[in-house]
Amino acid sequence: GATIGIVGGGQLGRMLAIAAANLGYRVHIYAPDEAPPAGDVAAEVTRGAYDDLEALGRFAKAVDVATFEFENVDAGALAFLAEHVRLSPNPEALAKGQERVGEKEFVASLGGRTAPFRAVESLSGLQAAIAEVGAPGILKTARFGYDGKGQARLAGPADCETAWEEVGQTSSIYEGFVDFEAEFSILIARGADGKSLIYPAPHNEHEDGILARSTLPAGPVIADQVEEAAALAVKVADALDYVGLLTLEFFASAEGPVFNEMAPRVHNSGHWTIEGARTSQFENHIRAVCGLPLGDVSLSAARVEMRNLIGDAVNHWQDVLSDPAAHLHIYGKGEVRPGRKMGHVTRLFA
């Protein structure tokens, strides 16, 4: 069969590779790590830096289509890759999701609601932003943040200096704190033919800035806001001419859905789809990238719950095996570290 190249070798790449193998494809991983979790289940691994154009060029020649599972790759390097092999989603979509200010402006231009925000480049810029936007709020690095890293919360102007010392960078964003009732995400799969399907929206609960749990179906607070959020997601995906699985995170607020950020890739809040949806986010991403028709995204059980196994929690995997409703996923990452996503458990309920 054909070979799919995946840039990035983490657990997302691992689950994409498994889905690809089920459809008869070979997978070739490109990652800088010595033993990437995705490498265990791939036919081939090229070890290379994300900005090593020569190695990327060789990788491009060795695969039939390419995609990525890691968005903190230099968009220029992926644009180079796209000159040598068909890359989905396109590198422009990746670039849009890499920088929080441009991303929010883009989504706002399509009619999306965002937290009030200002681009911040210095401590005095932060002080000006908090004066205009108000407090409480969050200072975030505009690029490369994940799992709540690179963020500092501010209760008021007095916190500016500490926050700036903690995470301030020349490209940062200050956001007003959204008074939300719950968080959810829209997982949208868009095929090469431009048709898209939207998964039932999970209710996402975070602990310490890290996703802890996704549950479906979401309760009424979220359910009432999904239609508006989904319509926005279609606009975003169409505007980017997106092919693959795209994720948008939202806050359900009294004013309606507030867009937080997007990820141009399969997403942790979609892991439940492996057993909990008729077609997983990983399979639909592979289908889209390979130009195949998309599969049914509806729930395969009445109720679904996904919990992350973060840090030490993975050591309790034996308890999971005795629960007949539970499906255990362990990512094969070596070292257990606090805050590190080591695996997840999905439970299906009739």
Which residues bind to ligand ATP, rule: CB under 6 A?
Answer: 115, 138, 145-149, 175, 177-178, 183, 206, 209, 249, 260-261
- Give the nearest distance from C-beta 237 to Mg ion in angstroms: 18
Q: What's 314's DSSP letter?
A: G
| DSSP alpha helix (H) spans, 270-338 | 273-276, 281-289, 317-321
Please choose which of Mg ion, ligand ATP, none residue 206 contacts, taking the beta carbon within 5 to 8 angstroms, the exact cut-off set by kind.
ligand ATP
Contacts of 196 (CB under 8 A, 6+ apart): 188, 189, 190, 234, 237, 238
Our CB check for ligand ATP shows the closer of 33 and 147 to be 147
Nearer to Mg ion, 40 or 261 (CB): 261
Partner from Mg ion, ligand ATP, none contacting 278, C-beta within 5 to 8 A by type: none
Distance CA(56)–CA(118), nearest Å, equals 36
Residue 263 C-beta: closest distance to Mg ion, Å: 6
138 binds, among Mg ion, ligand ATP, none (CB under 5 to 8 A by kind): ligand ATP
DSSP state of 253: E
Q: Smaller CB distance to ligand ATP: residue 32 or 209?
A: 209
Evaluate whether 285 touches 67 at the Cβ level (below 8 Å). Answer: yes
**Which of the residues 261 through 300 are near Mg ion (CB under 5 A)?**
261
Output the DSSP codes for 148-187.
TTTEEEESSGGGHHHHHHHH--SSEEEEEPP-EEEEEEEE
Ligand-binding annotation for 127, yes or no, is no
What residues are paired with 150 via a beta bridge? none
Identify the H or E element spanning 20. Answer: helix 11-22
User: Nearer Cβ to ligand ATP, position 149 or 195?
Assistant: 149
Answer with the entry of ligand ATP, Mg ion, none that 183 interacts with (C-beta below 5 to 8 A by kind).
Answer: ligand ATP
Which residues have a Cβ under 8 Å from the Cβ of 41 and sit 6 or more positions away?
A: 14, 17, 18, 21, 27
Residue 311, annotated ligand binder? no
Sheet (strand 137-141) strand order? 117-120, 172-176, 137-141, 151-154
State the greatest distance between any 2 C-alpha atoms of the chain, in Å, as a whole number. 60
Amino acid sitting at position 104: K
Q: Is 260 annotated as a binding residue?
A: yes
Q: What is the DSSP letter of 208?
A: T
Was 8 annotated as part of a binding site?
no
Is 337 annotated in some ligand binding site? no
Location of structure tokens 């890759």: 81
The reply to whether 161 sits in an annotated binding site is no
268 a known binding residue? no
Cβ–Cβ contacts within 10 Å for residue 341, how many?
21
3-state DSSP call for residue 350? coil
Q: Judged by CB, which is closer to ligand ATP: 206, or 316? A: 206
99 touches, from ligand ATP, Mg ion, none (C-beta below 5 to 8 Å by class)? none
Residue 206 labelled as part of a binding site: yes
Partner from ligand ATP, Mg ion, none binding residue 115, C-beta < 5-8 Å depending on class? ligand ATP
In sequence order, the β-bridge partners of residue 17 are none
User: How far is it, in rounded angstroms, from Cα 105 to Cα 216?
Assistant: 30
323 marked ligand binding residue: no
Contact code string over 231-260 relative to Mg ion, x by CB under 5 A: ------------------x-----------
Whole-number minimum distance, CB 199 to Mg ion, in Å?
17
Residue closest to ligand ATP, measured at CB:
178
Nearer to ligand ATP, 175 or 275 (CB): 175
Binding-site annotation: residue ranges for ATP: 100, 140, 145-151, 175-178, 183, 206, 260-261
Interface residues toward Mg ion, by CB under 5 A: 249, 261
Binding-site annotation: residue ranges: 100, 140, 145-151, 175-178, 183, 206, 260-261
